[in-house]
Amino acid sequence: MPRIAHLYFKTAVIFLIIGIGMGLNMAISQDHSVIGAHAHCNLLGWVSMAIFGGYYALNPRKAEKRLAMIQYGVYTAGVALMVPALYLMLLGNMAMEPVVAISSIITFVGVLLFAFIIFTGEAVAITPSAQQFR
C-alpha cells in the first residue's frame, strides 16, 4: 500500500476514535449540542479520509506525486482545526467562529486539490487479481 494511503487510514481511525468519543459523551450526558462537531469529525475525518486513502491505494502512481502529500497536509490541517473549533463554538464559545470559517475553507481547498488529482494525470488503477487470493 502506498505510504500516503496508510497515512490517510491512520489519520482516519484517529478521527473515528475522537468522533465516537464525542458520540458516547453526547449519549451519556444527554446533551446533544455538539452534534455538528461529532458528525463532521466522523464524516470529514473517518469516512472521507478512508475514501481518499482507498483511492490512493488503488492509484499508486497518483499516490507517489508530491501533490498527493500536499493534498493530505491541507485537508488534514483543515479538518484537525475545524473539528475542535466547531466543538467549542457549539458549546457557546463564539470567538471560535472565525476559526471555524477559515478551517472550513482550508478543508474545501483540500477537497478541490483531491478533485484536481482525480481529474488529471493517468488514471491507472490497480485491480488485484482474484488468482492471488485463491
Burial 5-35 (b: 16+ CB within 10 A, else e): bebbbebbeebbebbeebbeebeeeeeeebe
Task: Please report how many Cα atoms fall inside a 13 Å half-sphere around the Cα of residue 4, on the Cβ side.
Answer: 26
Minimum CB separation of residue 117 from ligand HEM in Å reads: 23
Tell whether residue 102 is a contact of ligand HEM (CB under 6 A).
no
Binding mask 13-52 for ligand HEM (x = CB under 6 A): ------xx--xx-xx----x--x--xx--xx--xx-----
Tell whether residue 62 is a contact of ligand HEM (CB under 6 A).
no
Q: Which amino acid is at 51?
A: I
What does the binding site for ligand HEM look like in residue numbers (CB under 6 A)? 19-20, 23-24, 26-27, 32, 35, 38-39, 42-43, 46-47
